[in-house]
Amino acid sequence: MPSLEILSPCNTIDFDFDVISCSPSYATCTRSYQENKFLTTAFTKLCALPVPNNNKDVHTHADTSDVIEEDITIPGLPPLLRGHPDVHLRHGVMRAAQLALQHESDAEKAFFVGDLCYVYQQHLRWKKNLPEIEPFFAIKCNPDPYVLRLLAGLGVGFDCASIGEISQIVGLGVDPSRIIFANPCKAASFIKQAARAGVDMMTFDNTDELYKIARLFPSAKLVIRILTDDSKSLCRLGLKFGAPLVTVPGLLAKAKELKLDVVGVSFHVGSGCYDPSAFADAVMRARSVFEMGHEAGYNFTLLDIGGGFEDATFETTASTLRDAIDQYFPNRENIRIIAEPGRYYVAKAFSLATNVIARRAPPTPEGGGSQDMDMESEQPSVMYYINDGVYGAFNCILFDHQTPQPYVLSLNGSFHVPSSVPMRASSVWGPTCDSLDCVCPVTQLPSTLQVGDWLAFDNMGAYSVCAASQFNGFQISNVIYTSGVGYLSGEVRKVLKEFSKGEEGEDED
């Protein structure tokens, strides 16, 4: 079990509590507190103290560099801290209270906490369960600069969908051989720029794409993207991409006629696949395409099994994949197998803290009565407005079919919510003036929740901040980064330090 790490407070306060303890996997976290007294007292004391006069930048409201010693500095990025992410969620709330007392603008701004230790742990989990398969992280899921640097340092490859993503990865010093341009329908200018960048592995699924590539990048190493059954996935990519098997012989014949080099087969069972058998079916289809390639005069050496990996079903999916690959590719000494995981690496690595900025509730009847009269109803009786919404981090609701659920981070200046607090049906809304901006139509929240309290959301690392906008003038939430606790925290920092040395060398060249 990793050693526990006690964080130094930013001011001298007597925190009379047991430190948060976690298992190495973070799967089970236990919080042992000595009731609510210390939290309320510490919160009140901390809010009464002046805010350190730090340099103000875009990370002001999410900066905890005055709390924990940091020793990794990457130009243009906030510091990488240590400690359990829950600690940083609480500290961010307390710091916001300090800033509010100092009349700072937007003091209560929402913020993420990104746990890089979780990303590292997911990589170890991948290597344990799918050792033969090289992960190529789908950066569209979360192009966070720390996440990309950590994965690059771990030797992970990258699935890029645009020249912008390719430039981002090449700019980190990643070798082009560790990049696949996995967009079957590319702009002509993107193909030319990929050629200049040396990224020669790219997908296709139609004849027009072959003509473009033959004209602009004839030496590219092509991967035919086939259509699979994605009916068991949250996002069905087959509606847009993938060549039906019946069209594959004709596509391969055209590629041969154009003297193009097709090196393998790719598929994608859809983003957020909850049925592992979909992978087995797709591998079977890929095997048949390998045979079609042989008949067309190609000797395929690449199998790309795409993405769709879910955290909850990963071990089951990995077992199904291993069995399918053994069955359909028993002789694979000369076959490179890659995958394109995205949310698997980052979904649970980020949490979001939001402030309740407004509240609408039925008026209290004169002469008594209670606002909680509708508490038993399943219909929401109170509307809460928070400072992030579907045009920001919660775009995952619209674009990724997610249903985030809030939990109370602080209530009336305390991080402890007694089990005796009555709950009532409520709805949670974003800050914009659009009625579409609904984060949670119905949820149970404490009846005493008020403006100024904080709600948090877990599992906010996939398809969230990457697609956030500044609609209505609301800023994108900032990120606090931590390397976690214990042994793996040190490993994360070691990888990033080594990678940053390589970046410095690239800059010198």
Active-site residues: which are they?
433
- Residue 274 to residues 143, 226, 236, 278, 350, Cα–Cα distance (Å): 24, 20, 12, 9, 21
- Closest listed residue to residue 470, CA positions, set 401, 391, 386: 391
Residue where the block lists tokens 């154009």: 258
The CA angle 87-88-92, to the nearest 5 degrees, is 125
Residue where the block lists tokens 């594959």: 248
Report which residue type is found at 67. V
Residue where the block lists tokens 């000369």: 334
Cβ partners under 8 Å of residue 57, min gap 6: 63
Spatial separation of the C-alpha atoms in residues 193 and 39, rounded to whole Å? 55
Spatial separation of the C-alpha atoms in residues 149 and 233, rounded to whole Å? 29
- Residue 361 to residues 113, 130, 374, 389, Cα–Cα distance (Å): 31, 52, 11, 20
- 247-282 as b/e, with b when 16 or more CB fall inside 10 Å? bbeebbebbeeeebebbbbbbbbbbbbebbebbbbb
Spatial separation of the C-alpha atoms in residues 268 and 82, rounded to whole Å? 36
What are residue 354's DSSP bridge partners? Answer: 455
- Closest listed residue to residue 256, CA positions, set 294, 202, 200, 203: 294
What are residue 226's DSSP bridge partners? Answer: 243
